């Protein structure tokens, strides 16, 4: 179990990101009063305790901010990553329980576009307004929405529900931290932004390895076949000399066993090559 966790909350405006951050910390650190305008326009970090553990919580502006441009939102996301250096153990993509808007459906894609595609491996869907579920199970709620199912699947199946109205309920916070521990392998894994060029290189490396393997295998086969051919030709010359000597010392030529093919060659063994290359 990691004693110190770094968390970043992202999502649409007015979905309860700041309230969720306060719920994690167990006190009101982020402004979450009712307002007709978005209150969070820059990334902000607060350190605190959650269920006896040290945490740093970073709140961010809305992904589709009504007051910031896309470039400004991206700049604030990058600032949030710096505030949680060397990288957050979990990115909490915050959604309001209910029918997903078109922008909310594109939330993860927007994150991937602004940061990098591997952010989904470190993302947990955090639903707010958990009191709306009443007696409905969150898994049942997800099963009723195909878009939501796909979104959860893209986040490795991790999701959680907060009732921000009940900040005193620390069980919901403890359950979230347990999921973060599981996803981050006890804090050993955390998000590190991969540049576009690094993503391209990562995808290309697999294909390059396979092509190199085939090239080296074929080259090895050609070399071994050439060596076998030369060895066979040398052996054939010695065999013909031996047969001529037998002709001179006997009444008839040496009898060759029917069906025996003296010119046959076996394909060189490549199993050792396979073993070596596949471990590269």
What would the pLDDT profile of 87-103 be if each residue is shown by its tens digit? 999 999 999 998 888 88
Q: Which helix (H) or strand (E) holds 145?
A: none
43, 61, 76, 110, 241 from 72: Cα distances, Å = 11, 10, 6, 14, 87
Q: What confidence score (pLDDT) does residue 266 get?
A: 45
- What would the two tokens of residue 112 be? 């991937």
Pairwise CA distance, residues 52 & 1, whole Å: 12
Confidence (pTM): 0.69
Q: What confidence score (pLDDT) does residue 51 get?
A: 86
Q: What confidence score (pLDDT) does residue 240 get?
A: 73
Pairwise CA distance, residues 230 & 245, whole Å: 23
Q: What confidence score (pLDDT) does residue 190 get?
A: 94
Rounded to the nearest 5 percent, the helix, strand and coil shares of the chain are 50, 15, 40
What torsion do the CA atoms of 61, 166, 47, 16 make, to the nearest 10 degrees?
A: 0
What would the pLDDT profile of 103-128 be if each residue is shown by its tens digit? 888 999 999 999 999 999 999 999 99
CA 9 to chain centre: 19
Cis peptide bond N-terminal to 86, omega within 30? yes
Q: What confidence score (pLDDT) does residue 98 get?
A: 85
Pairwise CA distance, residues 103 & 62, whole Å: 11
Q: What confidence score (pLDDT) does residue 184 get?
A: 94
Q: What confidence score (pLDDT) does residue 134 get?
A: 80
Q: What confidence score (pLDDT) does residue 245 get?
A: 75
Q: What confidence score (pLDDT) does residue 132 get?
A: 87
* Helices (H), ranges, 14-135: 17-25, 70-83, 102-105, 107-114
Query: Which residues of the chain carry a pLDDT beneath 50?
Result: 199, 202-203, 253-269, 277, 279
Taking every pair of Cα atoms in the chain, the longest distance, rounded to a whole number of angstroms, is 116
């Amino acid at each position: 179990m990691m004693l110190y966790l770094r968390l970043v909350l992202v999502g649409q405006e007015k979905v309860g990101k700041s309230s969720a951050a306060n719920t994690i910390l167990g006190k009101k650190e982020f402004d979450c009063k009712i307002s007709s305008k978005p209150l969070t326009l820059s990334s902000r970090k607060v350190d605190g305790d959650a269920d006896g553990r040290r945490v740093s919580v970073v709140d961010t502006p809305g992904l589709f901010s009504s007051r910031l441009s896309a470039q400004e939102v991206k700049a604030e996301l990058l600032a949030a990553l710096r505030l949680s250096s060397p990288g957050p153990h979990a990115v909490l993509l915050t959604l309001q329980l209910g029918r997903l808007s078109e922008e909310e459906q594109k939330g993860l894609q927007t994150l991937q576009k602004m940061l990098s595609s591997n952010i989904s491996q470190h993302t947990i869907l955090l639903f707010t307004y958990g009191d709306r579920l009443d007696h409905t199970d969150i898994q049942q709620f997800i099963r009723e929405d195909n878009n939501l199912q796909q979104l959860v699947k893209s986040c490795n199946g991790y999701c959680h529900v907060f009732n921000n109205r009940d900040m005193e309920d620390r069980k919901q916070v403890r359950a979230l931290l347990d999921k973060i521990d599981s996803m981050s392998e006890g804090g050993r894994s955390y998000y590190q932004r991969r540049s576009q060029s690094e993503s391209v290189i990562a995808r290309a490396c697999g294909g390059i390895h396979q092509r190199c393997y085939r090239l080296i295998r074929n080259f090895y086969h050609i070399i071994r076949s050439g060596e076998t051919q030369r060895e066979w030709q040398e052996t054939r010359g010695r065999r013909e000399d031996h047969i001529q000597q037998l002709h001179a010392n006997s009444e008839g030529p040496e009898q060759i066993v029917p069906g025996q093919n003296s010119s046959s060659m076996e394909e060189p063994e490549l199993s050792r090559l396979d073993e070596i290359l596949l471990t590269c």
